[in-house]
Each structure stands twice: as C-alpha cells, then as structure tokens.
Amino acid sequence: MKHTDIKELFTNPDSFTGGEVTVCGWVRTWRDSKSISFIELNDGTCLKNLQLVFDKEKMSADSFKDALVVGAALKVEGNFISSERNGYEMTVSGVEVLGGCPQDYPLQKKHHTLEFLRTIPHLRPRTKYFEAVFAVRSRLSYAIHTYFQEHGYKYVHTPIITGSDCEGAGEMFRATTMPWKTDCKTEQEYFAQDFFGRRANLTVSGQLEGEMAATGLGKIYTFGPTFRAEHSNTTRHAAEFWQIEPEVCFADINDIIAIAEEFIKYIIKDVVDNCPDEIAYFSERAEKGLAEKLNSVITSDFVKLDYTDAIEILKKSGKEFKYPVEWGCDLQTGHERYLTEEHFKKPVFVVNYPADIKAFYMKQNPDGKTVAATDLLVPGIGEIIGCSEREVDLEKLKNAMIKRGMPLESYVEYLDLRKYGTVPHSGFGLGMERILMYVTGVQNIRDTLLFPRTVGSL
Ligand code: 4AD
Ligand code: MG
C-alpha cells in the first residue's frame, strides 16, 4: 500500500510541505465543529499524531462520517501543510476506511489506567503510553547490540531447553511431552520416558553455555528469553524475561565492573539521544525528573561498595528494615533501596558477597568467606545486574558444587572448561525489563512486556 510514514513527514517536513501525501493509521481522537472536522491520526511510527483537517465546504460530511470513529483504521490522501496551531497538518481530499471500529472498542478515553490496560494486552500497543514503552524497548535492544558489536563481542544463541541449572535456586519450569497421568512408579522411570529421556527445563540463564562459547570466541554476549518459576509476585519479577549476558575472557571482577558501567552509560545515552519524545513523555507521565536523572547517570561515576561496608551502612542507618541486617544476609529490596535511593542517590555496585548466598560458579576470594561477585543496584528498582568473576580452579569449583548438593555428572562439560586451558573470565546478566523500567520510569514490570507472564497469569 503506497503511503508515507507519519514519522517521515515530521522528520523531513520540508520535502513534503505543500505536496500531496497518503498516510495510513488509526484514529486516536476526533472532534467536530460546524465547518471543520479534525482527526488525530497515529500510525505507530512516532509518538506524534498527524492532525487531519476535513473542510466541510470542500467535502460532504457524508463522505467521511465513517472515519470519525475512535479506533478506526484509515487511508487518507491530502495536502501536507505547515500550520500555526500544530506545526504541520493535513488537509484531507480523500479518505478510505480500511477497518471500521464499533462502539465497544475499549480505548475510547484519552487516559486509561495501567491496571485496566493490563486486561487488554492485545490492544494496549495502540495507546501512547505503550507505543512509547515499545519504542524505547526497541531502541534499547538496538543500542545493546550496537555496544557489543562495536566492541568485538560475538552474539551467541544459547539453548532455551536445557538439562542443567545455572543459578541453582530450584525455580525452573519443566519442558515435557509426558501426559499428566502416567503409570510411572519413580521419577527416573517418568523422565526416562520423556522426550529427551531425562528431565529438561526452560533455561534460567544462558551463562553456562555462554562461558563455553567465550572460552573459544573470547568475548560473547547472549540476548534472549530466560525463565524463572519464582512465586515472587512483585512489580519487578516476571516468569519470562529477557536477559543480556556478556561473558569476557581474560577479565577479572574489576574489568567486568568497568565494562558494565561503560555499557549501561552507553545504552542509556543512546536512548536519551534517539528517543527524545518518549523520554519527555515519560518525564511527565511516569517519573518526574526522569530526563535529569538519566543525564546525571550518564555523566557521574557509579559507587563501588564492599558488601561488608554495605552492612555497616545499613546497621548505622537507624532504619527499621522488614528483614534484619546481619553480615551473611542477602540484601532485600528494602536494604537495596536504602543504599541506592537514600544513602548514595545513584547506582551502586555492591561487591564481594558472602559465598553462601551466591551461586556455585563465582570465584572464591582468598578470605574463604566471600566471592568476587557484584550486583548493580539502581534507585527505584534495586538490582538490575548480577555479575561475577568465575571460579576457574577445578577443585574449588567442584567443592562449591558438592557443598550445594549438585550432581557433578550433569556438569561434565562445564567442568571441562577448567580442565582444558582454563582462563580468568567474568560476565554479567542484565535484566532487559529492569533496565527498561529504569530508563522510562515505568513502575511495573508487567508494563514493559508485550504479554507479561507472571505467577497465575498467562
Ligand atoms: O542475578 P541473576 O540471577 O544472574 C544470573 O542469572 C547470572 N547467570 C548472570 C550472569 O552472570 N551471566 O539475574 C540477572 C539479572 C538480574 O540482575 C535481574 O535484572 C534480572 O536478571 N532478573 C529478572 N528480571 C525479571 N524478572 C525476574 N524474575 C528476574 N530474575 C532476574
Ligand atoms: Mg541476582
């Protein structure tokens, strides 16, 4: 269908002004006066609507009455002109209704609550809010790829169905073709009959396979869906979320922290530079001061704080936390938010966590208690990155696995990496939805995914 994107009209108005153009889109709103009717048309290519002007002296009202319907899909011809009111608008000469829209269309009002829009995920991309969310999500993805591609990383596609458990937290979905009822007497018998002849899961992380790729390709990143069957019904947890996981050989914990900081600043700057309308919109609709926040993140240094010092700060804060603070405890949301929102007021890398609360693969520090791991915490959200140097000493790694009751025979290939030409290497995982929340000010992870999957909701 020959037509011009509305974004193109607004980007290069001079090459269209005064000329005939054809545009397509959906009616966001319309209004009527005695001699003129107006339609705000949006085609999804940019946040701005194109105002269509119908002059009743030149066109009979009957010829366009079916177009004056919220939600209707139109193809419109007319003259693109500059206007004092709007910058630019279109004087319509002909209109074709591509798809009519009956009165029960749920998006009749200008502003609906986000809770209501969650009940109609198939329609919410037609609202300004979600058009902006998905525009930023798309640009952020592009920036992520650009950063890694320009820095010599190879994009690898790690499997989604896996037999191993990367994080060891026992929160995995099973992949099975078995009927719900069987005659199996034991678990072994059951899994032996299943598609793979063994238990299979949806991956919680591409890291282990990412390490295998990196110890050949040098620097890799993954960018794909990961799954967690956690029963965490919070605004920051989804059962299906996208994760970006670089893995870098010949890099220790300090190297990877520097990479993570440079990377986060790069992708935020890219969005600030390339999505000005969306950021301005979210500054109004989602988070006051968003633009200033993002600019200050790009230009200031992130804090690097030892876990042990973090515990001291929390203890001295005089705050009553829901979960008490003691050395050895995992930092809870309340603790993370105090550190990053109240104490430092900027992103904080908490480094050297107790080994007992972290995953088996993390490098054990000489103190025998902590691991070379860090979480990046940001105001408003808490953890957005989980990061570590990997344990490369075969014996130490095996011991950490045995201590956690892991079956070594399922990790033979992973252990091989430490046997054959082992090298210092480090990596991190960034949650796509969490960074998107941070960049837009969107408060609920359910509003960053096209079709959010959370406990009890599919
Ligand atoms: O801290 P996590 O569990 O780390 C890993 O999976 C490592 N294997 C990463 C690595 O070193 N390659 O998860 C990484 C990030 C978190 O910081 C968070 O941003 C996001 O993934 N995340 C979730 N996002 C949404 N919903 C959930 N249920 C999430 N769980 C983790
Ligand atoms: Mg984590």
> Quick one: 406 and 288 in the same domain?
yes
For the chain, the straight-line distance linking the first and the last C-alpha, in angstroms and rounded, comes to 35
Whole-number Å distance between alpha carbons of 240 and 243: 10
Residue 387 CA to ligand 2 center (angstroms) comes to 8
> Quick one: 397 and 266 in the same domain?
yes
Q: Is 224 inside any structural domain?
A: yes
> Quick one: 90 and 190 in the same domain?
no
Q: What is the DSSP string of 239-288?
A: SEEEEEEEEEET--HHHHHHHHHHHHHHHHHHHHHH-HHHHHHHHHHT-T
Mean pLDDT of 111-131: 97
* Residue ID of nearest Cα to ligand 1 atom 24: 431
What does the pLDDT look like over 215-240, one tens digit per residue?
999 999 999 999 999 888 899 999 99
Look up the pTM and report it.
0.97
What is the domain range of residue 30? 6-105
> Quick one: 142 and 35 in the same domain?
no
Domain boundary at 53, 72, 105, which? 105
What does the pLDDT look like over 374-409, one tens digit per residue?
999 999 999 999 999 999 999 999 999 999 999 999
Q: Is 458 inside any structural domain?
A: no
Question: What is the pLDDT at residue 171?
Answer: 83
> Quick one: 266 and 317 in the same domain?
yes
Domain boundary at 73, 105, 137, which? 105
Residue 385 CA to ligand 1 center (angstroms) comes to 7
Which CATH number fits the domain that encloses residue 55?
2.40.50.140
Q: What is the DSSP string of 41-59?
A: EE-SSSSSPEEEEEETTTS
> Quick one: 252 and 296 in the same domain?
yes
What does the pLDDT look like over 53-75, one tens digit per residue?
999 999 999 999 999 999 999 99
Closest ligand to Cα 429 = 1
Among 164, 430, 434, say which to mutate for ligand 1: greatest number of ligand atoms within 8 Å of CB.
434
Q: What count of other Cβ atoms lies within 10 Å of the Cβ of residue 138?
A: 11
Q: Is 425 inside any structural domain?
A: yes
